[in-house]
Structure 1
């Protein structure tokens, strides 16, 4: 008998199921109440959909983390994707260390590894080192791997030979979609979804390390900018009469709040040097608060380990220079994920920007860097890596 076409009601139900699966894929375990809030579905409709997904072994229930004593009533449970449905990998080609992380569909880390790398090593050397690490974590088999997110140091404009070469090399090795982005921006994304910013939607992240970088997340999505340089906050001027920076500007934040700058001013043990870094970082963040209006500011990197010696002058400067409307409700916190944030952010990026594979036809995957995503978007095609033939 000829196969009947699905009814409009069936198509609507499939769309709602896909919406629920996509949220769980991108954000990890969620309560039914949170799913209802994000989808706009009624309790009855959502219950029917989640029951079907559980029956088909796509979704499982898990207990919610204990947060103090519970009252009477039914215990709150969370829904998440079945861990066996797919894996994702994140890689950070850092300045002095290469990291690789593999997680399952439930956003649980399966394996992680890192290896030191010479500061002046080529991107080709870093890439091969990361491929060795990933092979170890995957056991040499890419079965069930949905995609790989790779973080690199410096601006990712999309047209650079490095960015295209990294994406191409990982794609050739594993035959899955590959996304390449700045590793500090990826750390911002990871902290927003799984770290100090979990539950927030508008976040600014600043990393005070060997250099100063950051990332801006707006409505849960990473902001890249027209040319891929969004987040280069280390080169925002905070002292107009300050010394010349290697970028060509004067008085950039990186000249005062990076590890080398603090070391030159007396080191992390010197309260005055740390306070100056905090004060000028607060000055920069005040401008971003006026422009972006975040609900959360996350401070990370090695210098953030100075704690209150850094954050107290930062908060003081922020309050003094920020519009009251932009300042209302904004919080300043330290990072939570540490050195693994860049690699974890690579996995979050894959979850957000590649299509879910549940029930999708199989095919040869292609590796896309940011340039490919921009070109696809301009052509009216997909905005992320896709299986061949799906555009």
Structure 2
């Protein structure tokens, strides 16, 4: 799916997004009403509207005869929900998440299904295909499908292994559905989704942290998704939290992931005498104030807050978003995070950083895949052009959610 990303093309996409956003928020509008709200010149607006009507994103209609007043009927413009749909898939290590969005950016369906940690890539893709098929039986019209965005675990870099996995995913899903397939890291896509549809909508500088089986995240800097020089930004899980602490899979010791991931919290809970079967039991017990779950989550939260403070002092986000399975603990986790974050921030920054829970839950990365496919958001204005081509996408580092 080739994108021409010159200044004029970006400006035009911005104008199109402005018109589409007004129709999303206000419903059907006349051209005059659109003009009053968007501030575009009459010539530019009519050109943009003509293109959107021409490609089917917008439909024009006039009132029924019995509802018209005297004079010439006023044509009204509205989004065309059936003009096209995009699918997002998150091939996480222990679950597959699928979401579908129509051209109006409305979520028309979503589903999640856990699987064992040993399920290979082919098995996860097969599971995703079945889930899309089941979703199609309810609300998704595959005939209108335009593209698929896929989130994957770990770095999506130009290395031989990463490229091979990308090509395999694009080949298998592209062959099955007959549309372009874009692949990127799932935590970056979750950060993108929270900034497009979720709790950080409208914020220009966002730090997203996902506390799952791995710990990773994403950055929105000055209104654009940040990838780093080699697509490896967002490695928050490998900030040192406990100097000389437990060994980490990355080869270091004492990384945040060794004390604030699902596995680390479960191990700490059991070491403290807890008998929870899974992380959902631990977070539920912590919400109820039960020990040792509350103490274990509070300790993890303090490490998270201290690490976030270091990043915030360097990057200066206005919004910090916490997601992933551990976030289900609610205030039992976020309050210790908030306290440690506040303590570690420069005094001048303390009132300027807003800590928020993620809003999109398990399907966040799948929705981020859709945002990547739509490629309309200003958040992607400085995203590398090759990331918008079939099977191409550079992403940040490790997260095995």
Q: TM-score, normalised by structure 2?
A: 0.72
> 1:337 maps to what in 2?
360
Aligned equivalents of 1:198, 1:366: Cα separation in 2: 26
Counterpart contact for 1:98–1:116, Cα < 8 Å: yes
Write out aligned runs for 1:136-155 (5 A). Answer: 136-138=134-136, 142-155=142-155
Report the counterpart of residue 191 of structure 2 in structure 1. 188
Partner of 1:172: 175
Specify whether residues 368 and 24 from structure 1 end up closer, same or farther in structure 2 by C-alpha distance, changes over 3 A only: farther
Counterpart for residue 67 of structure 1: none
Gaps of 5+ in 1: 1-12, 62-78, 355-364, 374-391
Q: How far has the Cα of 1:46 moved from its partner?
A: 7.0
Q: Contact 1:286–1:318 (CA<8 Å) still a contact in 2?
A: yes
Q: Which residues of 2 match residues 100-115 of structure 1 at below 5 A?
A: 100-115=98-113
- State the Cα distance separating 1:286 from its structure 2 match: 1.0
Aligned equivalents of 1:156, 1:249: Cα separation in 2: 21
Distance in 2 of aligned mates of 1:353 and 1:256: 38
Is 1:249 the counterpart of 2:252? The answer is yes
Q: Is the 8 A contact 1:211 1:259 kept in 2?
A: yes
Shift, 1:221, TM fit: 3.1
CA distance in 1: counterparts of 2:226 and 2:364, whole angstroms: 17
8 Å Cα contact 1:186/1:342 also seen in 2:
yes
Q: How many Å separate the matches in 2 of 1:121 and 1:26?
A: 40
Give the drift of 1:108.
1.4
State the alpha-carbon separation in 1 of the partners of residues 367 and 22 from structure 2: 13
1:113 deviates by: 2.9
Instruction: Check the 8 A contact 2:306/2:341 in 1, yes or no.
Output: yes
**Is residue 2:346 matched to residue 1:348?**
no
* Residues 259 and 134 of structure 1: CA distance in aligned 2, closer, same or farther (over 3 Å): same
* Separation (CA, whole Å) in 1 of partners of 2:174 and 2:53: 34
SS in 1 for 2:352: coil
Matched, 1:207 2:210: yes
Q: Secondary structure at the match of 1:83?
A: coil
1:158-200: CA deviation from partner (whole Å, max 9, x where unpaired): 4312122112222222332211111122111111111111121
1:27 Cα deviation from its structure 2 partner: 10
RMSD: 3.6
Distance 1:229 1:124 in 2: 25
Distance in structure 2 (CA, Å) of the matches to 1:219 and 1:253: 26
**2:121 maps to 1:98:** no
**Residues 25 and 351 of structure 1 are in contact (CA less than 8 Å); yes or no, is this contact kept in structure 2?**
no
The structure showing larger relative contact order (alpha-carbon pairs under 8 Å, at least 6 residues apart) is 2
Query: Relative to 1, partners in 2 of residues 1:346 and 1:55: Cα closer, same or farther, differing over 3 Å?
Result: closer
Pick the aligned partner of 1:318 from 329, 341, 346. 341
Q: 1:127 aligns with which of 111, 125, 128?
A: 125
CA distance in structure 1 between the partners assigned to 2:108 and 2:350 by the alignment = 39
1:305-338, Cα deviation, whole Å (9 max, x unpaired):
2222211221121122122444442100111111
| Partner Cα separation in structure 1 for residue 357 and residue 52 of structure 2 | 37
Aligned residues: 332
1:280 aligned to 2:303? yes
2:83 to 82, 85, 97: 85
- More displaced, 130-139 or 103-112? 130-139
